[in-house]
Amino acid sequence: MKYFVLTLLAASAAVATADDAQKAKLMEAGKAAYTNCMACHGADGAGVAIPPDKKMAPSLIGSKIVTGEPAALALAILKGIQKDPANAQILGIMAPLEAQLADDEKLAAVMTYVRGSFTNTAGVVTPEDAKKFREQFKDVKGQVTRAQLEEAGKKKDK
């Protein structure tokens, strides 16, 4: 019985596509790069709680920015987000992280990790995509507004 299970596992591993391998690699590197986010968003992505009723940062679980069009997520990470004065429950600041994630592989990895963790099931972001987003937003100065993120998250007409 044990051998039977092992054989099945070996067979399914053999048919794993290159995409699966790339995803596994990005997820692993992304978990490491997520240390850049953990202090505020927490190991579980829910946002570090500041008792009794505040948080360092909003939850990334089910976030439209995290799981939607990846351009918006890239923009948020690269440039940071202007503090929303209306939300006094959130104590932290989403600073620009482009210097910490200057490597396209690393940016792609952390994006893939948050999109595919904490029950999120959005797809992989490749280093080529990451490079493209960095180029797309290179002239954006300062932290972005929610409206800018919304705009970046609109599906482009293809």
> Residue number with the shortest CB distance to ligand HEC?
37
CB nearer to ligand HEC: give 22 or 59: 59
Question: Where does this chain bind ligand HEC (CB under 6 A)?
Answer: 36-37, 39-41, 56-58, 60, 63, 65-66, 73, 76-77, 81, 83-84, 87, 90, 92-95, 97, 110, 114
- The amino acid occupying position 117 is S
Burial 89-99 (b: 16+ CB within 10 A, else e): ebebebebbbe
**Cβ nearer to ligand HEC, comparing 26 with 65:** 65
In the complex, minimum distance from the CB of residue 87 to ligand HEC, in angstroms, rounded to a whole number: 6
Nearer to ligand HEC, 1 or 99 (CB): 99
Measured from the Cβ of residue 67, the count of other Cβ atoms closer than 10 Å reads 18
